[in-house]
Amino acid sequence: MRKGQNPAKFVKDVAKPERITAAMLTYIPFLSGFYEETLDVLKVSLDSMRKDAGLPFDLLVFDNGSCPEARDYLVQEKEEGRIQYLILSEKNVGKGGAWNVILAGAPGEIVAYADSDVLFSPNWLARSVEILETFPNVGMVTARPFRTPPEFYSATLDWARDADAATLEDGQFIPWETFLEFNLSLGQTEEENVKVYAETRDWKITYLPERSGAQSKGITAMVGASHWQFTAYKSTLQQFLPFDMSRPMGQVKLLDQRMNDAGLLRLMVSDPLAMNMSNTLGYLRGELGKEGPKKKPSLSKRVLEFAPVKKGLLAVYNKIFNWYYS
């Protein structure tokens, strides 16, 4: 039997979410091996996201079954008001499963998504939203220019070639240093990128909508975008839900492909406002591209790199990992 009235009935106002929800996905199963520095990477990523974004936002974090140390940190951030919405999944539901929750449940009209290893620069959000709100029929905007697979931005080129208010140019617009910086963070070498840079190109669009006026020079965006960091309208993202991925990772390009197939624009800001840190703080320590002179590998290293040995040991590692975390 109820006693008295629920005090919530007398509350006349409720808090309204910000127009933009910045969303981050985390997965740190343990703090050793590959994941030894990932909690520190997460902390740096969150701090950079919140610093000088250029626009207000609420922060939503989806934790995909991380270790107690990572969860405790996120709960503390939530309790201290630095995370507005925190979702703790008991199990790793994969990136697709997490996206189904994040992209459907984010309270904002605009969702700015990022993996938990992204380092942001000031005004990353304001610049992304400017492109999102200026260009028509935008699917997603990434806060860094880099070279993406052409098959995922063919619809953007088709639109730019036909639009009277758009000027499309091709050339080497991304500086070599900016191009190399990002690819080194993916574990690639400088040598293998020299040829790629010389043989590929960038596409740039300058868009001047009619409402801009005679004094405006238009808004410039690079062609391309990517699933690791993007800003989009929530209503647009919901068109592509749910994601039914059979593996935790490896199929994330489905979003890139589906957006292009739907004829939506996939764009990037013209200068690097987001950077991939991967699983270490090596980028901040200035370690990228500074391997020094190559030394002859030791006997033990050569044995470990011998194909049959490497394949067998990685299979054992994968089995142990699945026993503990699948």
What pLDDT is recorded for position 311? Answer: 73
Enter the tokens of residue 42: 């997460």
For residue 125, give the nearest of 240, 208, 256, 229 by alpha carbon.
229
pLDDT at 285: 85
Rounded-to-integer distance, Cα 278 and Cα 260, Å: 26
Instruction: Report pLDDT for 232.
Output: 98
Looking at residue 252, its pLDDT comes to 72
Which pTM value belongs to this model? 0.87
User: Strand runs (DSSP E) across the chain, as ranges?
Assistant: 20-26, 58-63, 85-88, 110-115, 118-120, 138-142, 166-171, 202-207, 219-223, 229-233, 265-268, 274-276
pLDDT-derived band of residue 106, with 50, 70 and 90 as boundaries?
A: very high
Angstrom CA distances, 46 to 22, 24, 68, 218, 325, stand at 10, 9, 18, 32, 25
Q: Which amino acid is at 182?
A: F
Radius of gyration, CA atoms only, the chain = 22
Name every residue whose Cβ is closer than 8 Å to that of residue 50 and which is 6 or more positions away in sequence: 59, 82
- Flag the least confident range among 104-113, 118-127, 234-243: 234-243
What sign does the dihedral 41-105-124-48 (CA atoms) show?
negative
pLDDT score for 282? 87
Place of tokens 């394949």: 311
Angle between helices 38-50 and 68-79 (to 10 degrees): 20
pLDDT tens per residue, range 80-99: 999 999 999 999 998 999 99
DSSP string, 50-114: HSS-SS--EEEEEE-S--HHHHHHHHHHHHTTS-SEEEE-SS--HHHHHHHHHHHH--SSEEEEE
pLDDT one-digit tens code per residue, 136-194? 999 999 999 999 999 999 999 999 999 999 999 999 999 999 999 999 988 888 999 99
How much is the mean pLDDT over the chain?
A: 89
The predicted-structure confidence for 207-220, as pLDDT tens digits, reads as follows 998 765 544 678 99
Mean pLDDT on 25-45: 95
Report pLDDT digits (tens) over 281-307: 988 888 776 554 445 566 666 666 667
